[in-house]
Structure 1
């Protein structure tokens, strides 16, 4: 089948492309500024905020499935409106849609969040991701909405780079922000499984280990053989930033549904 990956130049989008190509699929991947699509991928430039352009591309490619990964942390139009445009075009073409969402749409609490917990965003990016989900579900109730967490792997991971910077004395990692990091390969495999399924609605797809950003930094130090003594830390509470603090995703439904094993960050980086 033909798979369209919107955001193929991103870390996750690129991994989805590589695995799909290895499985023998025809893969078309989009990019906006960086044309770095993996080998074997038909790269197409696309501005997801241009609904007409999105519709034209999807109509030309005629994909059986669409994986939608693009976002921009500080840009509502890309994150929310772009997701709606992709969903509209996919539904119009009758394509299966897997939309990548985020744990950022939750406010944070000590108890883990279930798959169906309603969004309670407390900052702009979380609100944009919540709006994206609302639009996708309205346009295509059969779409899968993958709620994930910090994506880790090699040095191409934004989260790993942040940890390496803090270990080098550039920036700091919060000791009171908890997340459930997931390996980029595990997440990509899960996304491709969902693209071939009929699962509809939100699904938590994250690692089983809840760690603070500072703890993640220590694990990255161990993984790369670096001195953890240089790690700079801070607290989200003292920073004055309005951000969710404790966000644990309960991914037990995904663990029972998918063949892909979602490994914990201690196994990945320990």
Structure 2
């Protein structure tokens, strides 16, 4: 498995570099992830320019995974579990919804894993933004009305490995348990990293020109019941300095 260097922690790369489950991952709309293996593979690949690109699934083995983020929901529902049908409000969200449909149509036994903001080890865009905003080296605001369920990258990676190791198929949600605004998440990150949270500027996404849903809360309880990995909420994984937080090697 190969994740971008600025997202996946080193121990997670080491954890997944040996004998590993079957499958291929491709993430859209943010942290990109692709996993492949030597020899016969199963792969799901969805281009960012979907629907101009087609979903391509080659099935020499029995497992395929596609991972996308939360843009395929409008936020009209208070909570979105795995049974909720996508109702995107942006072209990017429509592309993700079409990708899900395409992958599952071509390979019904595939896993489509939906996730949220991916946080961890100071390498995510949100963590970098918090540091730069606190230092006044970046213009911008953290929205108080933009709600997501952040997940730690180590939890996400471990959960994906579990899903690739078993006979799972269909839609799975892999998000944290805490629904937080981007500002509230920024405050947690600032406190974790010893920054002055009072320096973080706030604003309303509703007053901006940015498209997309305001409040998207992925309900991951059904998937969590299948996993040994705990999908922690941001209040938990931001409670201690990152060097003291857990990593993949601490998962059962």
Task: Give your verdict on TM over 0.5.
Answer: yes
Report the Cα offset of residue 120 of structure 1.
0.8
> What's the RMSD between the two structures over aligned residues?
3.1
Task: State which of 14, 20, 29 in structure 1 corresponds to 2:16.
Answer: 20
- What are the equivalent positions in structure 2 for 1:139-178 lying under 5 Å apart? 139-169=106-136, 170=138, 171-178=140-147
State the structure with bigger RCO (CA 8 A, min sep 6), 1 or 2. 2
**Could you say if the C-alpha distance between residues 82 and 97 of structure 1 is closer, same or farther in structure 2, counting changes exceeding 3 Å?**
farther
SS at match of 2:171: strand
SS at match of 1:257: coil
Indicate the residue corresponding to 1:196 in structure 2.
165
SS at match of 1:245: coil
**Could you say if the C-alpha distance between residues 26 and 180 of structure 1 is closer, same or farther in structure 2, counting changes exceeding 3 Å?**
closer
SS at match of 1:237: helix
Is the contact between residue 8 and residue 30 of structure 1 (CA under 8 Å) also seen in structure 2?
no
Indicate the residue corresponding to 2:200 in structure 1.
231
Is the contact between residue 25 and residue 66 of structure 2 (CA under 8 Å) also seen in structure 1?
no
Report the Cα offset of residue 111 of structure 1.
1.4
Distance in structure 2 (CA, Å) of the matches to 1:66 and 1:20: 17
**Could you say if the C-alpha distance between residues 126 and 162 of structure 1 is closer, same or farther in structure 2, counting changes exceeding 3 Å?**
farther
Is the contact between residue 84 and residue 135 of structure 1 (CA under 8 Å) also seen in structure 2?
yes
User: When the two structures are superposed, what TM-score results if normalisation uses the length of structure 2?
Assistant: 0.79
**Could you say if the C-alpha distance between residues 101 and 30 of structure 1 is closer, same or farther in structure 2, counting changes exceeding 3 Å?**
closer
Instruction: Flag structure 2 segments of 5+ consecutive residues without an equivalent.
Output: 27-33, 240-252
**Could you say if the C-alpha distance between residues 256 and 27 of structure 1 is closer, same or farther in structure 2, counting changes exceeding 3 Å?**
closer
Q: Do structure 1's residue 136 and structure 2's residue 103 form an aligned pair?
A: yes
Report the Cα offset of residue 236 of structure 1.
0.8
- What are the equivalent positions in structure 2 for 1:181-220 lying under 5 Å apart? 181-220=150-189
CA deviations over 1:20-77 (Å, ceiling 9, x no partner): 12x544999999xxxxxxxxxxxxxxxx9xxxxxxxxx7x943455576x87xxx424
Structure richer in helix, relative to its length = 1
SS at match of 2:156: helix
Indicate the residue corresponding to 2:249 in structure 1.
none
Task: State which of 93, 98, 107 in structure 2 corresponds to 1:126.
Answer: 93
Is the contact between residue 179 and residue 212 of structure 1 (CA under 8 Å) also seen in structure 2?
yes
Distance in structure 2 (CA, Å) of the matches to 1:147 and 1:225: 31
**Could you say if the C-alpha distance between residues 13 and 239 of structure 1 is closer, same or farther in structure 2, counting changes exceeding 3 Å?**
same
**Could you say if the C-alpha distance between residues 30 and 195 of structure 1 is closer, same or farther in structure 2, counting changes exceeding 3 Å?**
closer
Give the paired residue count: 229
Q: Do structure 1's residue 258 and structure 2's residue 227 form an aligned pair?
A: yes
